[in-house]
A and B are shown apart, each in its own frame.
Chain A
Amino acid sequence: MKRIFRLPLSRDRVHRDIDAELTFHLEGRVEELVAGGMSRKNAEREALARFGDRAKVEAEVERIDAATFQRQRLRQRLAALYRDAQYARRGLTRRPLYSIAVVLTLALGIGANTAIFSMVEAVLLRPYNIAAIGRLVAVRDDFPLMNMRNTAVSPLEALVLMARRDLFDAGMAFGGENLSVEIAGEPARIQGFKTLGEFFTVLGAKPLYGRLYRPEDSEVGRARVVVLSHRLWQQLSGDTAIVGRTILMNGEPNQVIGIMPPDFGFPRVALFWRPFVLDQSYLKVDARGTLVTAFVGRMHAGMTLDRLGVELRALAAQWHRAYPASYSKGGHTMLVKSFVEWQAGQQKPIVLALFAAVVFVLLIACANVASLQLVRSAGRAREFAVRAALGAGRAAIARQIIVETMLLAIAGGVAGVLLGRGALRWLSHLNVAQFSVLKDLRLDGTVLAFTTGTVLLAGLIVGSAPAWGAARANVNRVLHESGRGASAGPSRHRFLRASVVLQNALTLLLLVGAALTIRSLDRLLQSDPGFQAEHVVNFGITLPAQRYAGKDARLAFFDALDGRLRAIPGVQSVGFALGVPFSGDGGSTLYTLAGVPPQPGEPERHANQAFVYGDYFKAMGIQIVRGRPFTAEDYSGGTPTVVVDETLVRQSFGSRDPIGVRIEHGPEGTIVGVARLVKQGDLGEPPHPLVYHDYGHAAGYIGSLTAVIRSTLPADRAIKAARAAVAALDPKLALYSPRALADRMNDTLGARRLGTDVLAGFAVLSLVLALLGVYAVMSYVVSERTREIGIRVALGAQRAQIAAMVMRDGVVLAAVGLAIGAVAFLGLGRLMGSLLYGVGVLDPVALVTAVALLGGVTVIACYLPARRAVRVDPVQALRAE
Chain B
Amino acid sequence: MSDDLDLLRGTLDLFILKALTWGPMHGLAVLRWIDRITDSRLRIEEGALYPALHRMEQKGWLSAEWGMTDNNRRAKFYRLTNRGRKQFATHLSIWERYIQAAAMVLSARGAAT
Nearest-CB distance from B93 to chain A (Å)?
27
Nearest-CB distance from A865 to chain B (Å)?
58
Q: Which residues of chain A are within 8 angstroms of B77 by Cβ–Cβ distance?
A: 1
Q: Identify which of B26, B51, B69, B74 contacts A61 (C-beta below 8 A).
A: B51
0/1 per residue, A24-45, Cβ < 8 Å to B? 1100110000000000000000
Nearest-CB distance from A654 to chain B (Å)?
97
0/1 per residue, A3-40, Cβ < 8 Å to B? 11111000000000110111011001100000000000
- Is there a chain A Cβ closer than 8 Å to B54's Cβ? yes
Q: Which residues of chain B are within 8 angstroms of A390 by Cβ–Cβ distance?
A: none
Judge whether A52 and B58 touch: CB under 8 Å: no
Judge whether A21 and B76 touch: CB under 8 Å: yes
Bound Cα distance A420, B39 (Å): 76
0/1 per residue, B75-91, Cβ < 8 Å to A? 11100000000000000
Nearest-CB distance from B99 to chain A (Å)?
27
Q: A3-B65, A24-B74, A51-B46 are in contact. Are A29 and B51 (CB under 8 A)?
A: no
Q: Which residues of chain B are within 8 angstroms of A7 by Cβ–Cβ distance?
A: 64-65
Q: Which residues of chain A are within 8 angstroms of B73 by Cβ–Cβ distance?
A: 24
Q: Which residues of chain B are within 8 angstroms of A51 by Cβ–Cβ distance?
A: 45-47
Nearest-CB distance from B20 to chain A (Å)?
14
Q: Identify which of A5, A29, A64, A65 contacts B66 (C-beta below 8 A).
A: A5
- In this complex, what residue of A is CB-closest to B49? A25
Q: A20-B74, A51-B46, A52-B46 are in contact. Are A25 and B66 (CB under 8 A)?
A: no
Q: A17-B76, A24-B75 are in contact. Are A60 and B28 (CB under 8 A)?
A: no
- In this complex, what residue of A is CB-closest to B54? A64
- In this complex, what residue of B is CB-closest to A64? B54
Nearest-CB distance from B25 to chain A (Å)?
10
Q: Which residues of chain A are within 8 angstroms of B57 by Cβ–Cβ distance?
A: 68
- Interface residues in A, total, Cβ within 8 A: 30
Q: Which residues of chain A are within 8 angstroms of B55 by Cβ–Cβ distance?
A: 64
- Is there a chain A Cβ closer than 8 Å to B50's Cβ? yes
Bound Cα distance A242, B71 (Å): 96
Q: Which residues of chain B are within 8 angstroms of A29 by Cβ–Cβ distance?
A: 28, 46
Nearest-CB distance from B75 to chain A (Å)?
5
- Is there a chain B Cβ closer than 8 Å to A95's Cβ? no
Q: Which residues of chain B are within 8 angstroms of A77 by Cβ–Cβ distance?
A: none
Judge whether A1 and B24 touch: CB under 8 Å: yes
Judge whether A24 and B76 touch: CB under 8 Å: yes
Q: Which residues of chain B are within 8 angstroms of A376 by Cβ–Cβ distance?
A: none
Q: Which residues of chain B are within 8 angstroms of A71 by Cβ–Cβ distance?
A: 58
- Is there a chain A Cβ closer than 8 Å to B102's Cβ? no
Judge whether B28 and A25 touch: CB under 8 Å: yes
Bound Cα distance A52, B12 (Å): 16
Nearest-CB distance from B110 to chain A (Å)?
43
Judge whether A60 and B26 touch: CB under 8 Å: no
Q: A24-B28, A61-B51, A64-B58 are in contact. Are A4 and B46 (CB under 8 A)?
A: no
Judge whether B28 and A53 touch: CB under 8 Å: no
- Is there a chain B Cβ closer than 8 Å to A57's Cβ? yes
Q: A17-B76, A57-B50, A64-B55 are in contact. Are A25 and B27 (CB under 8 A)?
A: yes
- Is there a chain A Cβ closer than 8 Å to B48's Cβ? yes
- Is there a chain A Cβ closer than 8 Å to B101's Cβ? no
Bound Cα distance A871, B68 (Å): 73
- In this complex, what residue of B is CB-closest to A27? B73
Bound Cα distance A50, B66 (Å): 24
- In this complex, what residue of A is CB-closest to B44? A50
Judge whether A4 and B66 touch: CB under 8 Å: yes
Q: A64-B55, A71-B58 are in contact. Are A21 and B50 (CB under 8 A)?
A: yes
Bound Cα distance A64, B57 (Å): 9
Q: Which residues of chain A are within 8 angstroms of B54 by Cβ–Cβ distance?
A: 61, 64-65, 68
Q: Which residues of chain B are within 8 angstroms of A4 by Cβ–Cβ distance?
A: 66-68, 74
0/1 per residue, B24-65, Cβ < 8 Å to A? 101110000000000000000111101100110110000011
Q: Which residues of chain A are within 8 angstroms of B66 by Cβ–Cβ distance?
A: 3-5, 17
Bound Cα distance A510, B109 (Å): 94
Nearest-CB distance from A33 to chain B (Å)?
12
- Is there a chain B Cβ closer than 8 Å to A56's Cβ? yes
- Is there a chain B Cβ closer than 8 Å to A67's Cβ? yes
Bound Cα distance A50, B65 (Å): 25
Nearest-CB distance from B35 to chain A (Å)?
10
Q: Which residues of chain A are within 8 angstroms of B51 by Cβ–Cβ distance?
A: 57, 60-61, 64
- Is there a chain B Cβ closer than 8 Å to A480's Cβ? no
Q: Identify which of A2, A20, A50, A67 contacts B46 (C-beta below 8 A).
A: A50
Q: Which residues of chain B are within 8 angstroms of A25 by Cβ–Cβ distance?
A: 26-28, 46, 50
**Which A48-78 residues have a C-beta within 8 angstroms of B?**
50-54, 56-57, 60-61, 64-65, 67-68, 71
Q: Which residues of chain B are within 8 angstroms of A57 by Cβ–Cβ distance?
A: 47-48, 50-51
- In this complex, what residue of B is CB-closest to A62? B54
Nearest-CB distance from A36 to chain B (Å)?
12
Judge whether B67 and A22 touch: CB under 8 Å: no
Judge whether A3 and B67 touch: CB under 8 Å: yes
Bound Cα distance A57, B74 (Å): 20
Q: Which residues of chain A are within 8 angstroms of B26 by Cβ–Cβ distance?
A: 21, 24-25
Judge whether A67 and B58 touch: CB under 8 Å: yes
Judge whether B47 and A56 touch: CB under 8 Å: yes
**Which A172-202 residues have a C-beta within 8 angstroms of B?**
none
Bound Cα distance A50, B50 (Å): 13
Q: Which residues of chain B are within 8 angstroms of A28 by Cβ–Cβ distance?
A: 28
Nearest-CB distance from B66 to chain A (Å)?
4
Bound Cα distance A726, B45 (Å): 104
Q: Which residues of chain A are within 8 angstroms of B69 by Cβ–Cβ distance?
A: 1
Nearest-CB distance from B76 to chain A (Å)?
5
Q: Which residues of chain B are within 8 angstroms of A21 by Cβ–Cβ distance?
A: 26-27, 50, 75-76
Bound Cα distance A2, B65 (Å): 10
Q: Identify which of B24, B45, B76 contacts A52 (C-beta below 8 A).
A: B45
- In this complex, what residue of A is CB-closest to B69? A1
0/1 per residue, A251-291, Cβ < 8 Å to B? 00000000000000000000000000000000000000000
- In this complex, what residue of A is CB-closest to B72? A2
Bound Cα distance A24, B68 (Å): 11
Nearest-CB distance from A553 to chain B (Å)?
94
- For B27, B46, B77, the residue with the greatest tally of chain A CB atoms inside 10 Å of its CB is B46
Bound Cα distance A57, B46 (Å): 10
Bound Cα distance A17, B69 (Å): 16
- For B27, B64, B65, B66, the residue with the greatest tally of chain A CB atoms inside 10 Å of its CB is B66
Q: A1-B67, A1-B77, A5-B65 are in contact. Are A68 and B58 (CB under 8 A)?
A: yes
Nearest-CB distance from A661 to chain B (Å)?
101
- For A6, A17, A57, A67, the residue with the greatest tally of chain B CB atoms inside 10 Å of its CB is A57
Q: A21-B76, A24-B73 are in contact. Are A53 and B47 (CB under 8 A)?
A: yes
Bound Cα distance A11, B87 (Å): 29
Nearest-CB distance from B28 to chain A (Å)?
5
Bound Cα distance A700, B15 (Å): 107
- In this complex, what residue of B is CB-closest to A55? B47
Nearest-CB distance from B62 to chain A (Å)?
11
Q: A2-B68, A3-B67, A24-B76 are in contact. Are A52 and B48 (CB under 8 A)?
A: yes
Bound Cα distance A345, B67 (Å): 78
Bound Cα distance A29, B66 (Å): 19
Instruction: List 12 interface pairs A-B (beta carbons < 8 Å), by A numbering.
Output: A3-B65, A4-B66, A21-B50, A22-B50, A25-B26, A50-B45, A52-B48, A54-B47, A57-B47, A60-B51, A61-B54, A68-B58
Question: 5 closest A-B pairs (Cβ-Cβ)?
Answer: A52-B47, A5-B66, A57-B47, A1-B67, A68-B58
Given contacts A24-B74, A25-B50, 9 further A-B contacts (CB under 8 A): A3-B67, A5-B66, A17-B66, A24-B26, A29-B46, A52-B48, A54-B47, A64-B54, A64-B58
Chain B interface (Cβ < 8 Å from any Cβ of A): 24, 26-28, 45-48, 50-51, 54-55, 57-58, 64-69, 73-77
Chain A interface (Cβ < 8 Å from any Cβ of B): 1-7, 17-18, 20-22, 24-25, 28-29, 50-54, 56-57, 60-61, 64-65, 67-68, 71
